[in-house]
Amino acid sequence: MKKLHITLRLCVLAALFLLICAAYLAELAGLQVVGQDYYNLVKAETSSRYVTVYARRGEIYDRNGKPLVVNSENYNISLEYGAMPIGKAAFNEMILMVTDAIVAGGGEENLTVPTFPFVGTYPNYEKDPVFFESKTNQIKWDALLRRLERDPEISTEDLLEYLRFRYGLIEYDRKADEYFENYETEDADYLMRVRFAMEYIQFSRVQPYTLAENVDDRTLAYVAERSFPPFRVTVDNARTYVYPGYASHILGRIGKIQAEEAEEYKARGYSADAYVGISGAEKVYEEYLHGTDGLLEIVEDVYGNIVSETTVKEPVAGKDVRLTIDIDLQISAEDALRDNITVIHRRAAGQRPYNGEDASSGAAVAVDPESGEVLAMASYPTFDLADYGASYTALAEDELRPLLNRALFGLYTPGSTFKPGVAAGALNEGVITANTIIVDKGVYDFGGYRPRCWIYLQRGQTHGAQNVVAAIQNSCNYFFYEVGNRMGIDMIAKYAKLYGLGEPTGIELGENTGILASPAYSESVGNIWNPGNTLQAAIGQSDNMFTPLQLGMYISALLEGTRCRAHLLKEVVEFPSGDVVYETPTEVIDVLDFRPGILPLIKGAMKDVVESGSAARIFRGYDITVGGKTGTAQVGDDRSANALFVGFAPYDDPKIVTAVVIEQGANGTDAAYTAKAMFDAYLKGERYLPLDAQE
């Protein structure tokens, strides 16, 4: 009996154990099978959106690794399309709430000004004529109308009514058969502008809309605390110019993609709202500087909480660019050029007319004669890239045209700086020899045309008997009238072209190729070429007009016997490794196959110009042996002549060639002040000392 009782108890315990196991198994099955619906439901209630991760833009350095343009981070408050609420009212309310938070957080001044093609106040707008002066705006406007499926000829009134309804600013009351406003006028006006700007940039999952730019930490924290689902902090790689106001014509700017280039950039994988180089080095080296943006997937639950963030595509940083520019030399060139012009202008005041009192602008370049590397390129007047936007209207309207890069696009009659090239060509062709003597009689008798030497005009004197070296040293016009007559214009033009005058230098920033005097050119502009024009062409007058860079490359060709392509890019550097991935090679465009002794003879004559000729008063006692040639080019009877100087140093092994032009500088000798300052900076490492302090 006792045994039976024990057996019964064991059976009950076993049954209970089996029951518990069954319950656990059922629960487990529910979790694994039935509960799957729950997890699917949770999964279904999350959503993904994609955010662009902007790549670092490459930075710009000088030849010695000194930073010129670097990135600085600006924090912006943006709205993400994928997190915006559905429905016009909720969409608008979110814009207003985030904006109010920005203002309350102290960021009112940081609110962006929406792109808007109308003027006036809500709802009485009219088209803004200034907006439509921009070709870019007109192209984008036409594209917007196509996306909205509106007739291009739609009236402003009809379009505005359509937009107000589209943006939920008004609703139609069927009973009253009229529209009624959903917002107070101030809010409606703001929403109208923001909603239009969103359409204009094509606000989308890959294109956020920036409500405020460059906000401080306080504003960011205030808005972040409100936990608005669409709120996002975006970072702009703003450009900072390490040497404000210097090298502005070289470095250039970045900006939003222009409409006429939109398709090209789209094909290259750029977003519609990307920042790209739009001028200067920023533009021409865009392919190196611009990185590849990445993509981030953000998964959120129904409450806007971030469940996960996954990098779909890593951003690739842009490469750094090193220019051939020496920034210390560039600063000295700009300071010296400005000072040179100012002093000429001031000293001429109150003296005889057309003596430099109208000097106001100019340009200077420095190049490495062996490689064609541009070491400095100054243009005056200039501007500061840091406040370009705020100053643009004044800059564009300034009659002195500070936005013009005179070193590359200014065209100047070369005057006597042209004579060394003519002499070299005449010697090489056997038209003259080193011992040929031509006697300056003051007035050159060329039939009915009787041009006079400059010394006869100014002093009633002559240079007397001149060989080619003396003629270059004294800049004797009479000698070169005779040489030009013997050569003929075709031969003169042949050698000028060989030196690169009137030809592209190859500089990456673009340039004016200049004018080389010839019968063909005269005929192309409706003029008749007379034999006397050949005499004027031989002394650097007539139609001859070249850029300062062309003059620098021409002197380099005479010194080296080869004509190299001018270039501004030294090398491209990988970030962050610092590895050089590209280095611009020296490119020889042409070879000056001159007979032995000719180019050294010309070089020696240019040394005489500096030591005992027209530039001697500038370089007297100078501790570097240099060569050069002054030029005073007539540009009309109603203004001072242009002043020019081309030079090189050191004499025995030239490392730098300079070309300086001062518009209405009156006397070519004075332009040598700027060249001397450039020699000091590059060869001796000396900072520029103002002219008044030198005396």
Which of 561, 558, 62 is closest to 320 using CA atoms?
62
pLDDT computed for residue 79 by the predictor: 93
- Give the span between the Cα atoms of 162 and 167, in whole angstroms: 9
- Give the span between the Cα atoms of 571 and 95, in whole angstroms: 46
For the residues of 309-320, what is the DSSP string, one character each? EEEEE--BPPPE
Q: Which residues pair with 438 in a beta bridge?
A: 466
User: pLDDT category, 595, cuts 50, 70, 90?
Assistant: very high
Q: Domain-by-domain residue ranges, the chain?
A: 49-323, 327-384+405-694
pLDDT computed for residue 15 by the predictor: 53
Residue-wise pLDDT for 509-563, tens only, equals: 999 999 999 999 999 999 999 999 999 999 999 999 999 999 999 999 999 999 9
Q: Does domain 49-323 have CATH number 3.90.1310.10?
A: yes
Residue 102 pLDDT more than 50?
yes
Which of 620, 625, 627, 628 is closest to 644 using CA atoms?
628
Output 177 or 465, whichever has higher pLDDT. 465
pLDDT computed for residue 104 by the predictor: 95
pLDDT computed for residue 37 by the predictor: 43
What's domain 327-384+405-694's superfamily in CATH? DD-peptidase/beta-lactamase superfamily (3.40.710.10)
Residue 603 is inside which H or E element, if any? helix 598-612
pLDDT computed for residue 50 by the predictor: 78
- Give the span between the Cα atoms of 695 and 688, in whole angstroms: 14
pLDDT computed for residue 23 by the predictor: 52
> Worst-scoring range by mean pLDDT, 74-83, 173-182, 222-231, 368-377?
173-182
- Give the span between the Cα atoms of 487 and 315, in whole angstroms: 62
Residue 373 pLDDT more than 50?
yes
Residue-wise pLDDT for 558-573, tens only, equals: 999 999 999 999 999 9
Tell me the three state secondary structure of residue 502: coil
pTM above threshold 0.85: no
pLDDT computed for residue 611 by the predictor: 96
Tokens at 355, concatenated: 């003596």
Residue 41 pLDDT more than 50?
no
User: pLDDT category, 390, cuts 50, 70, 90?
Assistant: confident
Residue-wise pLDDT for 314-336, tens only, equals: 989 999 999 999 999 999 999 99
pLDDT computed for residue 1 by the predictor: 46
Residue 647 pLDDT more than 50?
yes
User: pLDDT category, 32, cuts 50, 70, 90?
Assistant: very low
Output 463 or 6, whichever has higher pLDDT. 463
User: pLDDT category, 296, cuts 50, 70, 90?
Assistant: confident
Q: Mean pLDDT in the chain?
A: 90
- Give the span between the Cα atoms of 477 and 655, in whole angstroms: 30
